[in-house]
């Protein structure tokens, strides 16, 4: 089998195939495991697969095909040189490769005479011999370089001193070593003795002597290493007599050398008495073989696979979340515009249509302005089945520079100024909006702003059916009670202890107004259950919902949840996916004792129409000052 010419190409295709194999392994493993930890493990296995595939290919390129056919060690691989100079430029990649090959040659031979030959013409044998001799000379060895090619196609053509007298004259006794030698300058402080080929045939025997043996002995008298450049034995028999007196051979091949020719050359050299010491791959592909050690290139491709796997995993899930986010219903939200359009709240309060509203109540609901820039504010609203009234109203405040948020639940029957019509109404009625000019969420947010003095940044609206589906999609939430409780009106029924409640049971729990507990063998009403109790339950369930996010340790699980819940929310058109993820992720790790909960003190009030409502007896700024004084800027 011939050494494939494809090895001359870059490593793009093998790299791509190795990385593709790794990524295929990664996605195959993700069919069973989807958590982030499992994804990291799968990415690691994928990187290992890439390393095995590419590393195996690199090892095959470097050693397997040539060394198996040659049957000897690799001395070096000489990159393709873009220059046409005979000597490799010192310090260059090519020169470094020759130096490494010369060091390997020294380590693997004990003899002094080494042939440099090839399996066929055009392999760059003469240039290889010259640069190996130069590299060995630079390292301090006493080297003699000999041209053993009588065809004048060898080393002699590189010199300007002619081919004669040389090796032939030395063997015939027509010249001594001094006259047959040339000194080639290797940089400024090194000289390389060189013996050209000479003219005429080299005699095989003379007067019973062996002139070639005598010539070789003469060359080795003062040298550590004699390198003899000879033509391929299968093409020219001139090197055969020299091989008899050599200690071994260096076989020069290229990446396109035919294995059968290499086999024949090896067998010829062994038969001649100069067995192959090792081989040099000439004009090797530098991009494949010399830019970095094979293990480093393999490591880089393994790391690339690992990073690509992680990028694709998180990128795909991010796209899924973003795509699902685009399907969430949006509603226009512009509270400042609504405030400018509708009448303001007078400082003395708004007059109710039935009678003058008590001055005491009007003063109580007026809050001192609070620095809105100090908070990120989110209004979470749960509506009844018709979507006309708000049953759950929670304001979550995230103070700047603090990890302790503030949570406020507003009772649905809280009686507050309603700018639509300059009257008072229950706060939950503002979700109806104000005609076609101001939608419900905006009017509700404006009422909350008037009461708290804090601008509302975003809102999230869900109906009760959606509330149930959200909790069911999250796998339920934990509700703990001391005794079994029920409420026949809201269909509540929970056993004593902690229950992983479904969406239906959780909704019944937060809506229950007539909660009973089973005590002393009978059902008894729980005293003090009112809107404030419901508000606390609402906050607990909302926090439990966000805490459920802790179990989603995989973006793919989170994206699946987001996709399944896209029809359950209505969000303001100013809330971005990044803000939503940041909010959800910050709430998932919060504990109940890390949240400042503010309860609005109220008193019962009956309107002229007989409606029973709740009046706040303290302003929100006062409540916030009592709970978190550092968050309120007192007027100077």
Highest mean pLDDT among 86-95, 340-349, 595-604: 595-604
Most confident of 90-94, 484-488, 527-531, 538-542: 484-488
Is 129 buried (19+), middle (13-18) or exposed (0-12) by CB count in 10 A?
Answer: buried
Going by pLDDT thresholds of 50, 70 and 90, the confidence category of residue 364 is very low
Helical H runs in 222-330? Answer: 240-244, 259-272, 286-289, 294-326
370: pLDDT strictly greater than 80: no
Question: What pLDDT does residue 587 have?
Answer: 65
Place of tokens 């290889």: 128
Task: Determine the Cα angle at 284 with ends 282 and 290, to 5°.
Answer: 120
Q: Whole-model pTM? A: 0.54
Location of structure tokens 């509330």: 467
pLDDT at 495 (0 to 100): 92
Band (442; pLDDT cuts 50, 70, 90): very high
Give whole-number Cα distances, 382 to 201, 459, 503, in Å: 107, 11, 14
pLDDT score, position 53? 79
- 463 token code pair: 């109906």
Query: Rounded to an integer, what distance in angstroms lies between the CA atom of residue 333 and that of residue 427?
Result: 18
- Model confidence band, residue 560 (pLDDT cutoffs 50, 70, 90): low
Q: Which CATH code fits 332-464+569-631?
A: 3.30.420.590
Q: Where does the pLDDT of residue 448 fall: very low under 50, low under 70, confident under 90, or very high at 90 and above?
A: very high
Is the predicted pLDDT of residue 377 greater than 80, yes or no?
yes
- Choose the most confident range, by mean pLDDT, from 258-262, 429-433, 555-559, 584-588: 429-433
Q: Which residue has the higher pLDDT, 330 or 70?
A: 330
Give the tens place of pLDDT for each residue, 285-304: 644 444 455 566 677 777 88
Mean pLDDT of the 260-273 span: 85
Strands (DSSP E) found in 412-476? 415-418, 423-426, 458-463
- Cα torsion angle, 32, 35, 39, 42, sign: negative
Cα–Cα distance, 56 to 89 (Å, whole number): 33
Q: Which two tokens stand for residue 564?
A: 């399944």
Kindly list the domain boundaries of the chain, sorted by start residue: 5-56+295-326, 81-284, 332-464+569-631
Radius of gyration of the chain (CA): 45
pLDDT at 204: 62
pLDDT attached to residue 215: 76
| Separation between Cα atoms, residue 310 and residue 554, nearest integer Å | 12
The band of 565, judged by pLDDT with boundaries at 50, 70 and 90, is low
**Which residues, 6 or more positions from 580, have their beta carbon under 8 angstroms from its beta carbon?**
325, 571
Give which of 462, 464, 460, 404 is closest to 579, Cα–Cα: 460
The closest alpha carbon to 410, from 628, 569, 614, 621, belongs to 614
CA distance 463 to 469: 10
Element (H, E) at 516: strand 516-519
Give me the mean pLDDT over the 456-479 stretch: 82
State residue 122's pLDDT score. Answer: 81
- Cα(464)–Cα(508) distance, integer angstroms: 10
pLDDT at 634 over 80: no
pLDDT at position 447, please? 93
Q: Which whole number is the average pLDDT over 549-556?
A: 59
Longest dimension (CA), the chain: 147
Helix (H) or strand (E) holding 282: strand 276-284
Mean pLDDT along residues 610-625: 88
Winning range, highest mean pLDDT, from 80-84, 152-156, 221-225, 458-462: 458-462
Across 332-422, where does the E strand assignment appear? 375-383, 390-399, 406-409, 415-418
Rounded to the nearest integer, the mean pLDDT of the chain is 77
Token duo for residue 273: 């008495």
CA–chain centroid gap for 163, Å, is: 63
Mean pLDDT for 519-539 is 77
Output the pLDDT for position 60.
61
Alpha-carbon distance 415 to 429, whole Å? 10
* pLDDT level of residue 550 (50, 70, 90 thresholds): low
Task: Supply the pLDDT for residue 355.
Answer: 45
Above pLDDT 70, what percent of the chain? Answer: 77
- Residue 247 in contact with residue 274, Cβ under 8 Å? yes
**pLDDT above 70 (res 133):** yes
Contact (CB, 8 A) for 42 and 29: yes
pLDDT at res. 398:
87
Residue 275 has pLDDT above 60, yes or no: yes
More confident call, 365 vs 35:
35
pLDDT at residue 443, as a whole number: 94
pLDDT tier for residue 444 given thresholds of 50, 70 and 90 = very high
Our measurement of the distance from residue 499's CA atom to the centroid of its chain's CA atoms, rounded to an integer in Å, reads 40
Range of weakest confidence among 78-92, 458-472, 518-532: 78-92
> What is each CA distance from 163 to 143, 224, 618, in whole angstroms?
19, 24, 114
**What class does CATH assign to 81-284?**
alpha beta
Supply the pLDDT for residue 286: 47
Q: What is the mean pLDDT of residues 306-325?
A: 75
Query: Residue 112 corresponds to which tokens in the numbers above?
Result: 């002094």
SS3 99: helix
Q: Which residue has the higher pLDDT, 327 or 135?
A: 135
b (16+ CB within 10 A) / e for 412-450: bbbbbbbbbeeebbbbbbbbbbbeeebbbbbbbbbbbbb
pLDDT of residue 191: 84
Highest mean pLDDT among 73-87, 221-235, 366-380, 548-562: 221-235
pLDDT at residue 145 is higher than 70: yes
């Amino acid at each position: 089998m011939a050494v494939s010419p494809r090895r001359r190409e870059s490593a793009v295709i093998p790299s791509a195939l190795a990385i593709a194999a790794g990524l295929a392994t990664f996605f195959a493993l993700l069919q069973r495991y989807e958590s982030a930890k499992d994804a990291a493990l799968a990415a690691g296995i994928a990187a290992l697969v890439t390393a095995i595939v590419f590393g195996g290919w690199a090892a095959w390129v470097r050693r397997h095909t040539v060394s198996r056919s040659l049957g000897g060690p690799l001395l070096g691989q000489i990159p393709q040189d873009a220059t046409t100079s005979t000597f490799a430029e010192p310090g260059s990649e090519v020169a470094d490769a020759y130096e490494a090959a010369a060091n390997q040659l020294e380590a693997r031979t004990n003899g002094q005479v080494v042939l440099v030959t090839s399996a066929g013409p055009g392999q760059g044998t003469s240039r290889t011999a010259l640069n190996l001799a130069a590299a060995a000379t630079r390292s301090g060895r006493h080297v003699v370089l000999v041209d053993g090619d009588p065809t004048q196609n060898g080393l002699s053509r590189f010199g300007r001193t002619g081919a004669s007298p040389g090796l032939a004259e030395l063997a015939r006794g027509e010249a001594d070593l001094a006259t047959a030698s040339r000194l080639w300058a290797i940089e400024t402080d090194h000289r390389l003795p060189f013996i050209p080929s000479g003219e005429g045939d080299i005699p095989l025997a003379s007067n019973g002597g062996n002139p070639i043996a005598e010539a070789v002995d003469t060359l080795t008298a003062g040298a550590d290493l004699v390198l003899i450049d000879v033509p391929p034995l299968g093409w020219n028999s001139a090197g055969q007599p020299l091989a008899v007196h050599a200690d071994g051979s260096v076989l020069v091949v290229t990446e396109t050398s035919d294995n059968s020719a290499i086999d024949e050359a090896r067998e010829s050299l062994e038969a001649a008495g100069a067995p192959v010491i090792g081989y040099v791959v000439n004009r090797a592909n530098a991009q494949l073989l010399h830019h970095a050690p094979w293990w480093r290139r393999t490591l880089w491709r393994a790391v690339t696979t690992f990073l690509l796997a992680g990028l694709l995993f998180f990128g795909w899930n991010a796209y899924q979340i973003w795509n699902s986010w685009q399907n969430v219903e949006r509603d226009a939200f512009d509270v400042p515009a609504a405030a400018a359009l509708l009448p303001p709240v007078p400082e003395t309060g708004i007059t109710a249509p039935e009678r003058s509203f008590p001055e005491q109540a009007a003063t109580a609901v007026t809050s001192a302005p609070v620095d809105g820039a100090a908070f990120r504010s989110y209004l979470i609203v749960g509506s009844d089945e018709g979507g006309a009234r708000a049953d759950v109203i929670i304001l979550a405040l995230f103070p700047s520079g603090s990890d302790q948020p503030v949570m406020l639940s507003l009772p649905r029957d809280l009686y507050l100024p309603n700018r639509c019509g300059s009257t008072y109404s229950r706060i939950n009625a503002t979700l109806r909006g104000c005609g076609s000019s101001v939608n419900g969420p905006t009017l509700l947010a404006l009422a909350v702003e008037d009461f708290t003095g804090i601008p509302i940044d975003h809102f999230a609206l869900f109906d009760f059916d959606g509330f149930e589906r959200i909790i069911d999609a999250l796998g339920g939430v934990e509700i703990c009670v001391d005794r079994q409780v029920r409420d026949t009106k809201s269909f509540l029924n929970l056993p004593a202890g902690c229950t992983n409640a479904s969406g239906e049971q959780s909704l019944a729990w937060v809506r229950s107004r007539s909660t009973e507990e089973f005590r002393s063998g009978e059902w008894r009403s729980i005293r003090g259950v009112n809107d404030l109790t419901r508000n606390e339950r609402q906050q607990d369930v909302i926090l439990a919902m966000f805490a459920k996010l802790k179990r989603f340790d995989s973006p793919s699980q989170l994206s699946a949840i987001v996709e399944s819940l896209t029809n359950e929310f209505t969000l303001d058109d100013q809330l971005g996916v990044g803000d939503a993820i940041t909010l959800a992720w910050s709430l998932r790790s919060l504990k109940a004792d890390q949240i400042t909960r503010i309860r609005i003190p109220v008193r019962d009030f009956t309107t002229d129409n007989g409606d029973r409502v709740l009046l706040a007896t303290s302003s929100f700024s006062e409540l916030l000052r009592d709970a978190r004084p550092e968050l309120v800027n007192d007027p100077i």
